[in-house]
């Protein structure tokens, strides 16, 4: 009897343990099912919210951004989730919170990420982004404009950024001319980023869209002035600051030109003063060549970064005789066009400044043609979702 009793007790213990394990497994499976249903439901609801992006910005600039207060987003998510799970009895939804605060469009890293992604997409589609393979017009026929509205100016994403000297940057480029080879190295992040700019925004010689406020948008990204005229002048000064020392170097490195300068100085001021006169003549010659370079670029011609005799235009006789003439076309037309000089300067400009001014232009253009109240700072590129279900807290992240 004792043996039978012991066996019965043992079997009872085993069965109880098995029952407990079975219940635990059932509960665990149920929890996993509930979690899976919740995850898929919230994920779908989050995607539905992200689908309400600004279509104009996405279509024209390839950037996804959406607008809405945390309260509005939370209400939308609750509506989507409750509608989907209204017949799910085992899930009790508690607190729900949605916030876009961690993904503000004014965060330059978010904008940079999307710009690079879109540039890579265009490159993969074999879009002709490089100005070397795109024919530029010699003149953009849009009217020049000035942004005057004080509130609009104060709300620009770049309004708090310190301005940098474009001329000083251009002078440093002339001092490090070998680095220019990196500018046109395809596939690099810098190449893609700058291709985005030159492909999507107007410049003095290349009109992308007449539904953009500024005529000189690439120049705005470089100069940051609030008028087309101001940015054109800033870029002109920068290109001149880059070309002037390079032209002066060419004069002294070319024996024919160097000897011509020496001979002219000796003829004008023989003796000790000749050395100083040489400097004045060489500087005047380089200055005249630089002015001519600018006009060549404006008219659609090319100017090489480092010149040779066949790409040099101005004669020393014209300088000595004080002859002023129209644009002089050199023997050979080769080198960089105006758009490529813009790219050279873009390459050396701080990317944070470029990104902020891209966002400026997106805001300015949207306010001018689509939504007069559009503000970049009210938009974001993702959301955090917090959901409490069956007493547990779940956290989700959704972003473009």
Q: Region of 144 please: left (phi>0), alpha (psi -120 to 50) or beta.
A: beta
Residues 50 and 149 in one domain: no
* 3-state DSSP percent of the chain in helix, strand and coil, to 5: 60, 10, 30
Residues 122 and 200 in one domain: yes
Residues 50 and 178 in one domain: no
Alpha-carbon distance of 349 to 343, in angstroms, equals 10
Domain count, the chain: 2
Total residue count of the chain as it appears in this document: 400
The helix/strand/coil state of 392 is: strand
Residues 303 and 365 in one domain: yes
The helix/strand/coil state of 335 is: coil
Return the half-sphere exposure (C-beta side, CA atoms, 13 A cut-off) of residue 155. 18
Give Cβ neighbours of residue 246 (< 8 Å, ≥ 6 apart).
174, 177, 305, 306, 307
The helix/strand/coil state of 1 is: coil
Beta carbons of 334 and 296 less than 8 angstroms apart: no
Residues 361 and 387 in one domain: no
Amino acid 132: pLDDT: 42
Beta carbons of 65 and 103 less than 8 angstroms apart: no
Residue 17, φ and ψ in degrees, nearest 5:
-65, -45
Beta carbons of 146 and 233 less than 8 angstroms apart: no
Alpha-carbon distance of 85 to 92, in angstroms, equals 9
Give the Cβ contact number of residue 377 at 10 Å.
Answer: 13
Residues 186 and 254 in one domain: yes
Residues 276 and 360 in one domain: yes
Alpha-carbon distance of 130 to 198, in angstroms, equals 8
In the DSSP assignment, the letter for residue 179 is G
pLDDT tens for the 400 residues of the chain, in order:
555 566 666 566 666 666 655 556 555 455 676 788 889 999 999 999 999 999 999 999 999 999 999 999 999 999 988 887 776 777 788 899 999 999 999 988 999 999 999 999 888 875 554 444 444 555 788 899 999 999 999 999 999 998 889 999 999 999 999 999 999 999 899 999 999 999 999 999 999 999 999 999 999 999 999 999 999 999 999 999 999 999 999 999 999 999 999 999 999 999 889 999 999 999 999 999 999 999 999 999 999 999 999 999 999 999 998 877 789 999 999 999 999 999 999 999 999 999 999 999 999 999 999 999 999 999 999 999 999 988 889 999 999 9
Expressed as residue numbers, the domain containing 209 is 108-376
Residues 307 and 363 in one domain: yes
Residues 82 and 146 in one domain: no
Beta carbons of 215 and 140 less than 8 angstroms apart: yes
Distance of CA 122 to the CA centre of its chain: 14
Residues 71 and 206 in one domain: no
In the DSSP assignment, the letter for residue 376 is G
Amino acid 30: pLDDT: 57
Instruction: Give all strands (DSSP E) within the chain, no chain letters.
Output: 66-67, 93-99, 379-380, 382-389, 392-399
Residues 326 and 213 in one domain: yes
Amino acid 133: pLDDT: 42
Residues 23 and 62 in one domain: yes
| Rounded (10°) CA dihedral 330, 335, 339, 340 | -150
Amino acid 123: pLDDT: 85
């Amino acid at each position: 009897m004792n043996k039978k009793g012991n066996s019965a007790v043992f079997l009872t213990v085993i069965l109880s343990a098995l029952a407990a394990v079975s219940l635990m497994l059932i509960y665990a499976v149920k929890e996993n099912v509930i979690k899976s249903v919740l995850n898929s439901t919230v994920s779908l609801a989050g995607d539905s919210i992200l689908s309400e992006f600004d279509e104009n910005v996405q279509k024209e600039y390839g950037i996804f951004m959406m607008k809405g207060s945390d309260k509005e987003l939370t209400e939308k998510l609750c509506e989507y989730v409750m509608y989907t799970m209204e017949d799910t009895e085992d899930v009790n939804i508690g607190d729900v919170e949605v916030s876009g605060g961690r993904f503000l469009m004014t965060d330059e890293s978010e904008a940079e990420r999307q710009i690079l992604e879109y540039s890579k997409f265009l490159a993969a589609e074999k879009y002709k982004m490089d100005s070397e393979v795109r024919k530029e017009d010699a003149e953009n026929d849009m009217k020049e404009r000035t942004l005057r509205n004080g509130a609009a100016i104060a709300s620009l994403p770049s309004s708090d950024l310190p301005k940098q000297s474009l001329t000083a940057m251009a002078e440093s480029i002339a001092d490090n001319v070998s680095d220019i080879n990196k500018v046109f190295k395809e596939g690099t992040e810098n190449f893609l980023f700058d291709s985005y700019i030159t492909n999507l925004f107007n410049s003095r010689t290349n009109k992308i869209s007449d539904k953009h406020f500024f005529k000189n948008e690439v120049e705005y990204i470089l100069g940051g002035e609030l008028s087309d005229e101001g940015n054109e002048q800033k870029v002109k000064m920068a290109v001149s600051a880059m070309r002037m020392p390079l032209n002066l170097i060419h004069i002294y490195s070319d024996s024919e030109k160097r000897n011509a300068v020496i001979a002219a100085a000796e003829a004008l001021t023989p003796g000790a003063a000749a050395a100083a006169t040489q400097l004045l003549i060489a500087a005047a010659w380089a200055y005249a060549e630089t002015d001519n370079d600018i006009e060549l670029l404006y008219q659609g011609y090319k100017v090489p970064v480092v010149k040779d005799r066949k790409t040099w235009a101005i004669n020393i006789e014209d300088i000595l005789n004080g002859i002023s003439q129209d644009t002089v076309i050199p023997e050979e037309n080769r080198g960089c066009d105006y758009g490529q000089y813009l790219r050279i300067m873009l390459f050396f400009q701080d990317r944070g400044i470029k990104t902020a001014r891209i966002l400026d232009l997106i805001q300015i253009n949207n306010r001018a043609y689509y939504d007069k109240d559009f503000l970049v700072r009210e938009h974001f590129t993702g959301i955090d979702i917090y959901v409490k279900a069956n007493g547990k807290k779940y956290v989700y992240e959704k972003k473009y």
